Every structure is written in structure tokens, then in C-alpha cells.
Structure 1
């Protein structure tokens, strides 16, 4: 499968973006786990610190009681047991607050509360014992109680250490994966960047080369267009001059043949008279051909000065008036819509419709009366689908001229607009094969489009597309 350069670059940037996003997400997870681990460690330290404070203060209270019982020095009871208990209670309440999110630790604190309550009672009683037996008994009870408190404290510290260890293991996993992940993503991004740079550089050089070639082609094209325009002008001038020059010998041949027939008609044998008639007929056809060539060389010559808004209804009525005799002889029925105003050459449009109607009349079917229907639509360039994109918003008139004549094969739809191209012999239908070529030349000069659709034995339809407004720019021709 072949991918274009732009598609490769888009895929490369998409992969790089995906890798960077993945690396960013992974980095976020690493950072989050690092912060969670640090928070959990601080939490464990805080819990351990509070527990140690509680155990230390309890042990200090026990030591104070023992010192008092041994020396009866009241200074050992300063601060008093109640003050010491209040201080321990403050630490306990703070510890309960910082472990509020851990139900397991809360349960241990409930047990610790019970143990502390027993210990508080022992501390209060210990400061009042006088006999040696009672002192020894109190010391043993205090040691047992303290051992239970120490075990509970160790259980709570172990829970915190286990939580820290779990967080550390998760952090260790992400930290181990983070370095290669960042390395791989960075390497992938660098490789994609290098590939994109190389590809874009190559594409840029290719673009410069193409632009250079395009400029060269444009210069050559401009030269060829100038040469072609010059050649066309010379050909048109040649056709015009040649046609005029040919008229004179034709007139002489016609004059001499007429004189020959008038002066020596009785003396000429029948074969000679027949030859002279053929010569006169050939001269007549030659004169028609020359006149048509003159019309073709002049057709389609429009300049901004001769472009005006043409009332197509008025123009069509004038054409029908010119063809009135022929239409009556052939019993032709012409129906047409109310046509709009179209910018163009009045003379060229007159010739266009006259040639199209004359063509329909010429190829009428002998089996039925000829009917010609002319319809139109106003469409945008985009709706037409045949104009360049820069004229999609312009308005066009689509005129269709339908007849029920003999029609033609659709395979010849393009050929009939070429000069001197005929689908029938001159003995069947008169003409020089220039009429439709003139129509196409007129349409082309007005930035329009013409197409023919043939239906053998049923008729033909000629479709004309003309812009309502002329722009006189070379880039507005029909695509």
C-alpha cells in the first residue's frame, strides 16, 4: 500500500503525539505515586511519633510513681498524675484524628482506649500506695498493663509500616518502568522528528523543483498561446483574404458561363450544355462555401465594447421572423419559454439561434410535422456541475432546443460540431458542414458550453449553457 508524503507525516505526528501523551500519563502516575508514598510515609511517621509520645509519657508517669514510693519525695509527683493523664489524652485524641481514614487503626485505638483507662486508674492509685506489698502488686499490674499497651502500639506501628511498604512497592514498580518509558518515548519522538524533518526537506526541495518546472512550463505555455493567437489571427486573415480573392475568379467563371450559354446555346451539343450546367452548379456551391468560411472566420469575435444585455425573447422573435417563409413552407411549430436577459453579442446570438433552428428544419422527419420546443433554466455553476469551482456562485442559463426530426447516433455528438463534418451526403441534405461549428465557436467565445443528444428516428436536443454575466477573464471558461 502506497502512502502519500502528507499522510506519512500525519501518521508520524500522530504516533509521536500518542507516545508523548502516554509518557505524560505515565509520568503523572509516577509523580502521583511518589506524592502518595511521601504522604503515607509522613502519616506513618506521625502515627509512630504520637504512639511513642503516649508510651513515653506513660513510662515517665510509672517512673515518677516508683520514685515517689521509694523516696516519698513529693517532687516526683510534679506534674501531677492528672496533668500527665490529660497530656496523654491530648495525644490520643490527636492520634485518633489523624487515623480517621483507617477503620482498622480506629479499632486498635478503641482497644487502646480501654487499656489506657485501666492504666490511668493504676496511675491514680499508685500515687497513694504506702505498704510494700501493695507497691509490689501495683508494679506488677502496671508492667502487665504496659506490656499490653506496648503490644497494641507495636500492632498499630506495624500496620503503618505495611501500608508504607505497599506504597513503596507500587512506587518502585512505576519508578523502574518510568526511566525506560521516558527513554523509549523520547527516542521515538526524536526519530519521528528526524524523519519528519528529512521528509519535509525532501518535499520542500521537490516542491521547489516542481515550482521551477511549472514556471518554465508557464513561460512555454504563454509563448505557445501567443504563437497560437498569432497563428489564429493569421489564419483568420488568410481565410478572409483568400475568400475575397476567390470571389473574383468565381464571378468571372459565372459570367463567362452565362455568356457562353446565351451566345452559343443553339450551337452547343447537349453534352457541352450539361457540362456547363454542372460547372455553374459547382460555382454556386463554391460561392456558398466561401461565404460560410467568411462567416466562420468572423464568428465568435467579441470584445467588451460589443457585449451588452441581450433580450433573448426579442432576439428569438427576430430569428423566427427571418425564417418565417421556411417555417410556413415546412409547417414547423415552434414553442419557447420567456427567456432571460443574457450578456453577449447580439449579432452572435442571432446567428447562433438561426443556425440551430435552420439545422432542425433541415433535418426534419418526412413522416411527421416538425415541432421545436425551447426551454430554459436558471442555475448556479455548482448546480450545473460542469463549470470551474471559482464560478460555482455565478448564475447560468441552460437553454435546451428539442426537435422531433430524424435525429442522429449519439456516437457522433462531438463530431457534428467540427468544421466540414457531415453525417449525410450532399445529395441527401444541402449545406457545407460549417453551421454547427459556427455555433460552437460562438458559445466558446461567450464562456459557454454546448452539447448535442441524438435519438435516431425520434429527434435531437441541443443544450446551451451561457453565463448571465460575462467576466472577460481567461480563467472563467467552462471546465
Structure 2
């Protein structure tokens, strides 16, 4: 069952996430509010500019009216110069107002109406100026109708200008109010987010403090546990030494009576075999065979008990090619009897013991020779290669960052079914009866114990009737 996570660190994570979310929300809201402030500031300034141009236009209209009156009353043509300039200024201001109010259809209509009224007024002024230039006075030109029309035209111009200003003043008030609201809201929003962030930050700090406090207590518990574990390991090591000593003494003491049983069985067989009646000879042979098997079993058990112990003084760099070469020389007669062909490729250097690796490959080769197919010469091939990272990563007991070699021993024997691939390495496990094949069922167990002792693994691949492949993965001596 997965250990439940420390509540304090969970709180730290939750508070940190909430703080981050608040900061993001606050930044988003602040950015949005700042955008609105910028937008409505520009809107207020735009409206102010329209009102300014409208005031300038109205001033230009009044100036034109004044210049016309001055010219009519005095005949001074300087007033006409100012009048013409007023017309130019008015046309320019009208064009500017149209450009500033392109997105406001109401104002566009108002400005067009104003332009028409101004042009009508200008035509009246031009007619007055023309008559004045020809006759020197306005006698006979003015009448009550023209005077009323002129007054009405001026009033309409003034009314239209006021209407334009009214629309812009309304827009100005609305934009200005929204601008003020956003400006007032911005400090509140930022302040609120800051208060939340500071509060959660303090809570986070407190949670971290609590977590660190709990971590210190946990570290103390871990230290105590490690000390107890070291003591337990020492006790276990002492116990293993005692068991090994016991196994050695037991095997030594047990072999003595076994030797006597074997010796007396041999004497009985030599001196009294002709006197044994019924099944006596069969029973005697069974006693002898059982005592020999018992002696072999005791020897293998002693080797198995010693296989797992690591003696630092015996660990060194081992040349596997040399170990196997020397082992095959001692195995020469057996190999010749079986007419076996053993091919050994280039093998690496690994850490361990010459004697134990000799025992490993002796067990494996003996196993392949023992389970050879009847009537077919045994073929055994031993090769090696660098173990891939993917292969090493498949086995949790191996260091994923380490360098390993993969050594393969392939034979053409009888093989075994895939479901027995792990069972063959268990102690006393046999896939065949004692009458078919000799052995105690301990050899491959000892082999795996030695390989695992030096930081490696061994596994088998096979299918019935198609030979076997034993894979050994061992750490390289290279750094």
C-alpha cells in the first residue's frame, strides 16, 4: 500500500497553487482594468478634442459674422481678408470634425447639416459682398425678409453646434464616469489580491515550518531505524556465520557415519553377496546408492550455504575467458565422452572470485551436457556483449546508470517449457526424475546465488526440444 503523503506538504502545495491562481487572476483583472482605463482615457481625450474643434468652429462662425458687419458698416476691405480666412478655418475644422466622429453616425449627420447651413450662410454673405462692391452700399438690397432669413440661419447654425456639443458632452460624462470607476477599482482589486496572497503566503510559510518540523522528527526516526537496522544486519551476519559453521560441522560430522555406512556396505557386498537371499542384494545396493547420494547432497548444501557470503578480500577483477579455458581443460574427458563442441567467444573482465565463476560455468556446462538430446552431439556456445540500457532497465535490482555485460550460454539440448524458466533456479527443484538424470537440484541455485552476490542476474530462455539459453548480466569493471 502506498504511503500517504505528509499533510503539511500537501497544504504547502495547495496554498502555493491557490496563491499562484490568485496572482494570475489579479494580474489578469489588473491588466483588463488598466486596458479599460487606457481605453476610456483616450475616449475622454477624444471627446475633449471634438468639443475643442466645435468651439473653434463656432468662434470662426462668429468671427465671420463680425467681419461681414464690419465691412458693410465701414467698407474697409481688411474685414474681407479676415472673412475669407474665417471661411478657410471653418472648412478645415468641419473636415477635422468629420474625421474625429467617423464612428458616430449621429454626429456625422449633425456635421453634414451644419456644413449645409454654413454654406447657405456663406452664399448669402457672398451675395451681400457682391452687391456692396457694385453699389458701395446696401441701399435697396436689404429688406425685412432677408434680415429674418439671416437671423434664422444664424440661430439654426447655433442650434446645430449646441446639438453636437450636447452629444459629445454626454459621451464625455459617460466615459469620464467609467474611467473614474475603473481608476478607483484598480487599487482595491490589487489590494484585495495582495491581502489574499500575503495571507496565503503566511499560511504557506507556517505549513512549511510544520513540514520541516515533522521532517526533523521523521529524520530522527529514520536515524533510529537505520541504527536498529544496522544492529539487525550485524545480528543476521553473525547468525549466518554461525549457520555456516554449523553447516560445516554438521556436514563433516554427518559424512563420517556415511563413510562407515558406505564402507560396511562395500564389505557386505564383497564378502557376503553370495550369501544374501531374496532381495538382500537389491537392498544392499540401494543402501550404498542412498549413502552416496546423501554425501553428495550434504556437500552441495554446504556449497550453497557458502555461496551467498561476500568476502571483500576475495573480490577482484576476473578474466572470464581465462577461467572458462582452465575449467574446460579439467572437463576435457567428459567433453570427449559426450563428443561435445564448445565454442567460447571473447568474454569480459568482471568483479568476483575465480573459484566461484569457475563453479558457475561448470554448473551451466554440466547442465547442458547432462540434458543433451539422445543421438545428437551437444553444441554449446558462450558469447558476450554490452548490455543495452533498455535491457538493464527491465530489472530493478540493476543500477540503471551502470555499465553491464550480457553473457549468453546457448545449447542444443532438450530444453524445457517456458513456465519453468524461474523454477529451475530454485533449490531442490527438478524437472525430471532421478532415474532419468543425476543430480541434487542444487547446482543452478548455487549459480544464481553467486551471480546475484556480485550484483548481477541470471535468467533462462527455452522451449521444449529446442535447446536453452542462459543469460548472465554482470557489472563491468570499466568505469
Within the candidate set 30, 34, 39, 2:40 is matched to: 34
Residue 357 (structure 1) aligns with: 365
Alpha carbons 1:36, 1:167 under 8 Å: kept: no
Residue 372 (structure 1) aligns with: 380
Within the candidate set 424, 428, 436, 1:428 is matched to: 436
Aligned to 2:413, what secondary structure does the other structure show? coil
**RMSD, matched Cα:** 4.7
Within the candidate set 407, 413, 418, 1:410 is matched to: 418
Residue 50 (structure 2) aligns with: 44
Query: 2: distance between equivalents of 1:134 and 1:256?
Result: 169
Query: 1: distance between equivalents of 2:296 and 2:138?
Result: 158
1:263-342 aligned at under 5 Å gives the runs 265=271, 269-270=275-276, 277-342=285-350
Alpha carbons 2:407, 2:472 under 8 Å: kept: yes
- C-alpha distance after superposition, 1:322-354 (max 9, x if no partner): 222112212223234333333332222111100
1:50-65 aligned at under 5 Å gives the runs 50-61=56-67
Alpha carbons 1:306, 1:344 under 8 Å: kept: yes
- Alpha-carbon distance, 1:39 to partner: 1.3
- Alpha-carbon distance, 1:447 to partner: 0.6
Alpha carbons 2:403, 2:478 under 8 Å: kept: no
Query: 2: distance between equivalents of 1:243 and 1:448?
Result: 29
Residue 451 (structure 2) aligns with: 443
1:238-249 aligned at under 5 Å gives the runs 238-249=246-257
Aligned to 1:391, what secondary structure does the other structure show? coil
Alpha carbons 2:71, 2:77 under 8 Å: kept: no
Which sits farther off after the overlay, 55-64 or 131-140? 131-140
- C-alpha distance after superposition, 1:208-244 (max 9, x if no partner): 7766665565455444333332322222222223323
Residue 396 (structure 1) aligns with: 404
Query: 1: distance between equivalents of 2:440 and 2:374?
Result: 22
Within the candidate set 71, 74, 90, 1:92 is matched to: 90
Within the candidate set 456, 464, 468, 1:460 is matched to: 468
Alpha carbons 1:344, 1:470 under 8 Å: kept: no
**Structure 2: 5+ residue stretches without partners:** 103-107
- Alpha-carbon distance, 1:444 to partner: 0.5
Query: 1: distance between equivalents of 2:238 and 2:157?
Result: 115
- C-alpha distance after superposition, 1:220-276 (max 9, x if no partner): 5444333332322222222223323334444444455556767xx259841677665
Q: Given the two structures, how large is their TM-score scaled by the length of structure 1?
A: 0.74
Alpha carbons 2:273, 2:281 under 8 Å: kept: no
Query: 2: distance between equivalents of 1:390 and 1:30?
Result: 62
Number of positions where the alignment pairs a residue of Structure 1 with one of Structure 2: 459
Distance 1:214 1:78, change over 3 A: farther
Residue 477 (structure 1) aligns with: none
1:94-243 aligned at under 5 Å gives the runs 95=93, 98-99=96-97, 100-102=99-101, 104=108, 111=116, 114=119, 117-118=122-123, 121=126, 122=128, 143=151, 146-147=154-155, 149-154=157-162, 156-157=164-165, 160-161=168-169, 164=172, 217-243=225-251
**Structure 1: 5+ residue stretches without partners:** 472-479
Alpha carbons 1:451, 1:463 under 8 Å: kept: yes
Which sits farther off after the overlay, 35-44 or 153-162? 153-162
Aligned to 2:51, what secondary structure does the other structure show? helix
